Structure formats: C-alpha cells, structure tokens
Structure 1
Amino acid sequence: MKNNTFQFNSHILAAKIKMCVYGSILVSSLVSPMAQAADFSSSYQAYQQAVAAKDVEQTLVHAQQAYDLGKVSFGENHIDTAKLLMNLANAQRDSGENLLASQNYDKVLTRYLAHYGDDSIEVLDPMLLAAESTTNDKKSKALFEDAIEVAQSLNQPLVLAEVYSAAFKHLYKTPLYNNTIKNYGLKAYDIYSQHLPEDSILRVDATYLAASIQFAQKRYDTAEGLFLEVIKQYQTLDYSHPSELHAHAVLVELYEKQNNSQQATAHCIAIGKMKPWSDDQEQVPLFRHHPSYPKSYAIDRKSGWVEMVFTIDENGFVKAASVSDSQGGKRFETESLEAIQKWRYAPKFVDGNPVEAQAKVRLEFTIANG
C-alpha cells in the first residue's frame, strides 16, 4: 500500500487568493495570500525534489516548511493539512526522530478518522504507520487489530493480505506474539496465493514468511515445499536475494535434521555460489551439531575451550579436523572433534567451481551459574 502523498490543489488556493486580492490594493502590514500561496508551492516543490533525490535531511526541512505554510493556507484541521503532517511524520521517521513521528501519526489518524470515517480505506495508511511507530506493544497490537477490522469490511482481499502481512512482520518481534499473530502471516500467504501469480514479489515474500512460520512449528514437510518455491522464484533474478540465501540455509538445517545429507549438499553448494568466500572471512556453519558436555567435567563444574582447524570440501562437509589448541582436558577435545564432523558449510568457489578450503573454529564449554 502506497502512502498517501499530498497533491497541490491550485483550485483551493486560487479561491482564497481571489477573495483577498482586489485590483492594485496593497496591504503592506500583512503577508498577502498570493505570497503565502507562492511560498507554500515553492516549499512543497522543494520537498518533492528532496524526496526524489533521497536527501533525508532536506526532505525533513522542506516537509516542516510545507506543513507550517499549509496550516496557514488550508487551516489547522483541513484534510490536506493532515496529509502534509503525514509527509512530515514520514520524514521525521526516516531521520530517526521516532517519538515525534509517532506523535504526528496519531494526530493524522485522528483527523483521517474524523474526515473519512472509521471504515474507509483512507484510514489504513496512518493507522498502520501509527501501529508501526509506537513503542507501546499493546497500543500497536490494538491498532493493527483495528486495521484488520477495517480491511475486512472493504471486501478487497489484497488490501486485507497487506494488512495481515504488516501486522505479522511487526508483532512477531514483540512479547505479544501468539497463535493469532502467527496466523496473520499464514492468512496473508493464503490470500496472495489465491489472487497473485507465482512470481509476484508480494506472493514470494508471503511464501517466505509462511515457510519460516511452518519451520518454526516443526512442520518440516510443508516448510520444505514453501522454501523450495521461494528459491524457484528468486533464481530468476540476476542477483542473490537475502530470502533466497536464507531459504537455502534453512533447508540445509532441515535436511540434516532428517539425516538427509545428500539433499542438504545441493543447498550448501548453492549458498557457496551465492555468497563466495573471502580470504579474511570466518565461515559460518549452515548446520551445527553441538558437542556433548562430558558428564564428569559437568559434575566437577569444569570449563574449557577447544580450537580446531579443518578442511571444508567441495560439498561443504568437514574433513581432516584436528585440535590446534585447547584448555580444560582431553574429553573436551574428543567431544569437539566428534561434533565438528557433522557440521555443514557452504563450500568456497574459485572461478565458478567449488574447491576445498581451510577453516577454523573455537568451541567454548562453560557451566552456567545457579
């Protein structure tokens, strides 16, 4: 959903100007409506130019000027003034002035509700922006619930899917996350899959979210199909999309959990092609098998660490692992070497081909206090 942007209404200003200018009469003690109109038009055009240039600092300056002049031209409570205030709030948000932005989104929402009504599509933009900008999780959840109710009343499935998606993306990161919020993500996917083609970016994004939800719920068969669909669609791009990279990584973990290393290998190689190694980059494993803590050491509350060097082969398997240094005892070394054999990595690529490469890792063994 695109944010509403203020459109300069020359007819409204012309009417105001016409009432105030008669012949050659000059009122030197006041700023003329014609001058106000010219100032506003100049400020708003400067705002639009700053937005187009992605100049955050100047966008904020001219958004503030346009809003201040708009209040004079249209009046404090005019709907066009509210649209100017939303532009200002957007600029404040982008500049990091989050508290001011949140307060202004609330003001905009109040004016939109009064002007358009509770169940109009126009209220959704400020309602969602207010929900996303507040630091009060309960208020955010209530605003999203209101937005969902409005969207449901519109009988426009794609609008409803967008609201569901926005609510899920924001609320899943909060302590309020529950099955209802989880289902927002799944409902968005259901709607998009019914109404949009497979290669629609909105549908692919929703598919990725649904796959992640299913994986977290340990519904691995469903998650597998959804992640494979994400990969299929993003492979058509001429660059590596982060969601495609993550889909491959999750499938490596999924297949290794199912002891299906052969299928995991294809995705290890795919990641290696997407995100090539650099010589100074410490490789992050795609799948870890955690070492067991030796029982006798745990009883004695003994801690330690083990550093290992090893080779990652062309398929992302670990081989030729050895201990380069350690502290705490031989049992830590034994458990570490056993565990590292089960780890999976993305292989290194040179000139388009996977090659063996050296890597290292340090495993810590500690007993939590208490």
Structure 2
Amino acid sequence: MKRQQLALFIGLSLSALSATTLSTTALASQASDPQTVFSQAYQSYLAAVKADENVQQTAKLAYTSGKAVYGKSDDNTANLAINYAKAIKGYGDELNEQRFALYNEAHTILAANHGKLSIETIDALLGQANYTTSAYKAANFLEQVIDIAKTQNKPKFVADMKLEAASLLAKKFSSKKYREAKNYLEEADEYYRENLPSSSVEQIKANFLIAAFAEGSKKYNRAIERLNNIVTAFDDNLKYDHSAELTAHSKLVGLYEKQGKSEEATKHCLAIAQMVPWKESQEQTPLYRVNPKYPVHKARFSTDGSVIMEFEVDAAGFVKNPKVLSSEGGSAFEKSAKAALEQWRYAPKFENGKPVSAISQVQLDFKINRH
C-alpha cells in the first residue's frame, strides 16, 4: 500500500498550542478500507475543529484509525497523537496521565525519526512538560525545548520559548522551580525590552508574569510599575479595549489598596467602569476585597453563618452605607461582614459618560471546614 506522508505544523505560539494540522491532499481514491476509514475520520476531525464541536471524539477516532494505517513509528501517528492530546477536555489526574502518554508517544517517534534536538519534537516536549507531575521532569523537558530553540539561530524564538517555560513552571511548579522560572523570565524580558515595542504581545505577557512574581514577593512597587506599563501600552498604542488591559487595571486596584493608596486605586476603578457596563440585575464583582474575619466564638463551636447586605457603590467605587437585609447565625457575623465590606472597592456605575452612585447587594457566607 502506498503511504502518503502527512505534514506536521509546529504551533509555536506563546499561548495554548493550536491544533496540529495534517495535510490530506492527494489521498488515494482507491485506498484500502483502513485508509478510507482514516480519511473519513480525519475529515470529520477537521470539520469538528472548524465548528468547535465534538473535537475530542473525532480526534480520538482519527488517531486510532491513523495508527492502523501508518503504524507505531510514523510521523503521522505522532502528529495524530498530539492532536488527540490537545483535544482532550476536562481536569484530573487520569486525564492528565492520558495527555502525557500521548505526548510521550509522539516525542518518542519524532525523536527517533528526526533526532532529539530536532524542532519537530518541540510540541511533544511542551506537552510532556505541561502534564507531568514531576517538577524535575518538567524542567528537563523545558530545558530541551530551549536547547532546540538555540539551534535555530533565532534569538526571538529562544526568548519566546524561555517565556513559555517561565509561564509553565510558575503556573504548575512555582514552589519547586521558582528560581528557574524567574531566570527564564528575566532573560526573555531583557530581549523583549531591547528588541520589541512595549505594545507587543510578548512584552505584555512578560510584564504580567513579572508583576505576578513581584507581588508574590511583596515587591508591590515593581508589580505596579509593570502593570502600569501594560496600561500605558494600550493607552498610547492600541485603539481598542482588551481583556489584558482590564486585568491590569483590576490588579492595580488591589495593589494600590494594599499600599493604602486609595486615590491611585480610584483611577483604575474608573477606568474599568468605563470599559465594563454596570449590570443592574447581577451581583457586582469587587475589584478589591478583604475577607471577613470568622468570629472566634462562632468558630470555636463550628457555627456557620450567612449575611446578605445592600450597599451603595459611590462615584469613586467606595462602599457606602452597608445595610443588613437578612442573616443567619447571629449578630457577630453581621458585624464581621460589615467591617470587611466597608474596605472593598468596585468599578462604579457610569451614566452619560460620568460615574454615579448605585445600589448593589452581596451575600457573605461563613462556613467551617469540618474535614
């Protein structure tokens, strides 16, 4: 049987890797039954990706039927395994083990066919790094990714892979691989700051991650500086609102409040209010909140409580005049809920281009973990 080699598309994005694409042009019209089954399955998979429906089921069928056609050692089997791994939805150890096994299978094939330092192996290495439970193994996979990137003689590509590595390690293994993640991030950031505009996607992502590292170390001024860089990039260079800008404003509200700089926080409350319409029918989401203290004597007797409060969000986003509408568990819960709520910050309501006061409600629940 004549086999057609299907091409692997390396999705080297900084965000979630896009579905690996396989070319199905010139498939033999007189193919045997396994080839026909695979051809139909793969076309169904492509249609599912386009429609964003049933992707996992069709990816699995394309993988199993393709493996029957191409065998256990063919690039196409590796590519189909990667597609299937990316298509698996849901959370949990079992699903992560399944994803890891597919990426591991793909890497074994591609490394054998092209070499361990081949660019063809990058998607599989990143997948293994993302789904291994071992911080040591994740760091090792990512080190291989960066070594491969260096062979391409493309400095930006190296920086992109370092940012990818920093993001993954910070997200999943920050307690064990903090130093490695921080080093990768600083190296990527240095390249971006010297070679890319402040409004570039890469620079914005690096700024977010550096701000997160700084906040975790309670270096609030550095975090504020990087988040303000993001806001400035949108204000000066980009003529549209974006979720990244909204997130930066929101984080700045919290950081300024932590420093007791409510006036600075207010500027960002107002900026968010202009970007996001006030929704009368929904409970508003606070931009900064302080958790209520569990009354000591209630905690001692494992007593639960609940408080529903109505309050005013003034034109600067401060909480005013909180009132208890109903409660369960006693007045101690009411007192604690009120004390916490008075410190919260919101994006105020805008009418005719100006901030105004508005009424909102919130329910605070007090529950003891009895496990």
Which band: TM-score by shorter chain?
0.7 to 0.9
Give 1:268 shift.
0.7
Map residues 115-130 of structure 1 onto 2, 5 A cutoff: 115-130=113-128
Match of 2:230 in 1: 230
Contact in 2 for aligned 1:256/1:264 (Cα 8 Å)? yes
Residues 67 and 88, structure 1, Cα contact 8 Å, conserved in 2 = no
Tell me the alpha carbon deviations over residues 17-58 of structure 1, each in whole angstroms, 9 at most, x when there is no partner. 9xxxxxxxxxxxxxx768887776666555444434434157
**Equivalent of 1:77 in 70, 73, 81:** 73
Aligned counterpart, 1:191:
191
3-state SS of 2:145 partner: helix
Instruction: Specify the SS of the correspondent of 2:285.
Output: coil
Q: Which entry has the higher C-alpha Rg, 1 or 2?
A: 1
2:311–2:359 Cα contact (<8 Å) kept: yes
Distance 1:131 1:273 in 2: 40
Which structure 2 residues correspond to residues 1-370 of structure 1 after superposition, within 5 A? 1=12, 5-7=21-23, 44=42, 47-55=45-53, 56=55, 59-60=58-59, 63-64=62-63, 67-68=66-67, 70-71=69-70, 76-91=72-87, 93=88, 99-175=97-173, 176-234=176-234, 236=238, 238-241=240-243, 243-289=244-290, 307-325=308-326, 336-363=337-364
**What's the CA shift for 1:216?**
2.0
RMSD over aligned Cα atoms: 3.9
Q: Secondary structure at the match of 1:172?
A: helix
How many Å apart are 1:86 and its aligned residue?
3.2
What does residue 27 of structure 1 align with? none
SS in 1 for 2:312: strand
CA distance in 2, matches of 1:95, 1:364: 29
CA drift of 1:76 comes to: 4.0
**Equivalent in the alignment of 2:8:** none
Give the direction of change, closer, same or farther, for the CA distance of 1:194–1:66 in structure 2 (3 Å limit).
Answer: farther
Q: TM-score scaled to structure 1, two decimals?
A: 0.75
Distance 2:81 2:367 in 1: 54
Task: Mark the runs of 5 or more structure 1 residues left unpaired by the alignment.
Answer: 18-31
User: When the two structures are superposed, what TM-score results if normalisation uses the length of structure 2?
Assistant: 0.75
The separation in 2 between residues aligned to 1:79 and 1:330, in whole angstroms, is 68
Alignment coverage as a number of residue pairs: 346
Tell me the distance in 1 between the aligned counterparts of 2:161 and 2:362: 44
- CA distance in 2 between partners of 1:143 and 1:126 (Å): 9
Structure 2 SS opposite 1:199: coil
Q: Does the Cα contact within 8 Å between 2:135 and 2:177 map onto a contact in 1?
A: no
Residues of 2 paired with 1:292 and 1:331: CA distance?
Answer: 10
Q: Give the gaps of 5 or more residues in structure 2.
A: 1-11
How far 1:246 moved relative to its partner?
A: 2.0
Residue type of the partner of 2:157?
V
Equivalent position amino acid for 1:202 in 2: E
- Secondary structure of the 1:187 match is helix
Distance in 1, matches of 2:227 and 2:250, equals 10
Contact 2:66 2:76 survives alignment (8 Å) = no
User: What secondary structure sits across from 1:64 in the alignment?
Assistant: helix
